[in-house]
Amino acid sequence: MPQHFDAVVIGTGQGGAPLAVRLARSGRRTAVIERAEFGGTCVNVGCTPTKSYVASARAAHVARHAGELGVQVSSISVDLAAVKARKDRIIGESRGGVEKWLRGTENMTVFNGHARFTGANTLTVTGLDGQLLAELGADEIFINTGTRAVVPPLDGIQRIPYYTNSTLLELSELPDHLVIVGGSYIALEFAQVFRRFGSRVSVLVRGERVLNREDADCSESVRKVLERDGVEFHFGVQPTRVEPHPHRANEVCIGFEQNVPALEASHLLFATGRKPNTDDLGLDAAGIETDRHGMIAVDGQLRTNVPGVWAIGDVNGRGAFTHTSYDDYQIVAANLLDGGSRSADTRIMAYAVFVDPPLARVGLSEEDVRRSGRQALIATLPMSRVGRARERGETDGFMKVLADAHSRQILGAAIHGIEGDEAIHTFIDVMTAGAPYPTLQFAMHVHPTISELVPTLLDGLKPMP
């Protein structure tokens, strides 16, 4: 007979782990199933390790430019093995903390294995060797299985070594020439990091600009900074084949359509998107619906089409960020445990691209607003207007805000500039509160800070041409 639980959580990412604890603390007999490392993508191969690399890369960059601030540094070099060791230590602390938290929670049973549905409210748990570890039944099941990197099926892909965002983090020696396929967030963060570490970096972009979902001025601003760092961009190209280098072991030759010369690389990274971990969950046995990409379909309260089953985090297609996953947890917990009525349909999307300086965004882009046809106001200001940016010698980028001409509600904002990932929260909080832009415009901000430019920015709102 299956073991019966009140609730089962599959996956221990940024939504799954805290939700499992809340469920157990509510008095529910709870099981959590983890087939890999505790903490999910963010802790193990996402935010935590990559941002530790971003920090190391920034330290190298600041040291190289210290002379501009009157500080003399004789020589700069990056020990990738030491950078990796620091990253591994940070990951280990976070991963261990999550596991200890779960195992130490009353009413919680932890299973190390792979979960698969056998019915709408039943599951099996198997080990990596395929051995059956347990059969479970539950009144409530929560799927938090995340996503994994996509590798395009290029001709010759089986014959060469290549990397994804996960495996590149295991290098202990710097690449001589890192070629990155992709032009979005992951590609650009790794490009700048490894260029600042000292590698030659080439980025292959299928379209005509990086970050093609962003406004053109935002993508152009980011590109200029990375090019100044020495990152090489190739636009309008798409690899069609790869093969081992004829003379250098473990290196790669990348081929394109005719008339485009082949490119040689010591290391090849694919940053070409991610796909959901749903193909081996037995969703068909439960009758759980997915879209054409394999994402689990959910409503605003993150319920699937099967009663008693929810999907949270990247796997539901409602946002591919740690903060959206955590917000998913908060929505489910509020509605299920606290008598709330929260919905993912009403949250305002916000995120940052952690290049240096970061690009942060909330709400609608300028292109979104123009497509909507609504009457709107717009303002932009360069970061060179910010005293703190000038004092630190980091004036790249700009701020931009859009507001509805009639309601005076802020529609969206973008900041590409120093500490923009923090300053963007001035917009996020006012938009979440539903307050009109004068609330922020007439606020007194501390000097000298980055966010003190925001009221001045709002002073310049004019009708969007």
The domain that holds 103 is classified in CATH as 3.50.50.60
Please report the pLDDT score of residue 448 as a whole number. Answer: 95
Residues 232 and 320 in one domain: no
Residues 331 and 405 in one domain: no
The answer to whether 276 touches 293, Cβ cutoff 8 Å, is yes
The answer to whether 29 touches 163, Cβ cutoff 8 Å, is no
Residues 45 and 128 in one domain: yes
Residues 116 and 67 in one domain: yes
Residues 136 and 8 in one domain: yes
Residue 224 located in a structural domain: yes
Please report the pLDDT score of residue 249 as a whole number. Answer: 87
Number of structural domains (the chain) is 3
Residue 352 located in a structural domain: no
Domain boundary among 302, 326, 346: 346
Please report the pLDDT score of residue 348 as a whole number. Answer: 97
The residue range of the domain holding 254 is 157-272
Please report the pLDDT score of residue 144 as a whole number. Answer: 98
Indicate the burial class of 226 (C-beta count within 10 angstroms; 0-12, 13-18, 19 or more): buried
Residue 207 located in a structural domain: yes
The answer to whether 150 touches 274, Cβ cutoff 8 Å, is yes
Residues 280 and 405 in one domain: no
CA distance 174 to 80: 6
Domain boundary among 272, 288, 303: 272
Please report the pLDDT score of residue 116 as a whole number. Answer: 98
Residues 105 and 170 in one domain: no
Give me the tens of pLDDT residue by residue for the chain, a chain 465 residues long.
789 999 999 999 999 999 999 999 999 999 999 999 999 999 999 999 999 999 999 999 999 999 999 999 989 999 999 999 999 999 999 999 999 999 999 999 999 999 999 999 999 999 989 999 999 999 999 999 999 999 999 999 999 999 999 999 999 999 999 999 999 999 999 999 999 999 999 999 999 999 999 999 999 999 999 999 999 999 999 999 999 998 998 899 999 987 889 999 999 999 999 999 999 999 999 999 999 999 999 999 999 999 999 999 999 999 999 999 999 999 999 999 999 999 999 999 999 999 999 999 999 999 999 999 999 999 999 999 999 999 999 999 999 999 999 999 999 999 999 999 999 999 999 999 999 999 999 999 999 999 999 999 999 999 999
The answer to whether 143 touches 11, Cβ cutoff 8 Å, is yes
Active site residue 447: yes
CATH number of the domain at 399, please.
3.30.390.30
pLDDT tens digits along 202-222: 999 999 999 999 999 999 999
Domain boundary among 250, 272, 294: 272
Indicate the burial class of 229 (C-beta count within 10 angstroms; 0-12, 13-18, 19 or more): middle
The answer to whether 269 touches 181, Cβ cutoff 8 Å, is yes
Residues 79 and 131 in one domain: yes
Residue 351 located in a structural domain: no
Nearest CA-CA partner of 227 in 191, 273, 259, 199: 191
Residues 100 and 11 in one domain: yes
Please report the pLDDT score of residue 2 as a whole number. Answer: 87
pLDDT tens digits along 107-145: 999 999 999 999 999 999 999 899 999 999 999 999 999
Please report the pLDDT score of residue 72 as a whole number. Answer: 94
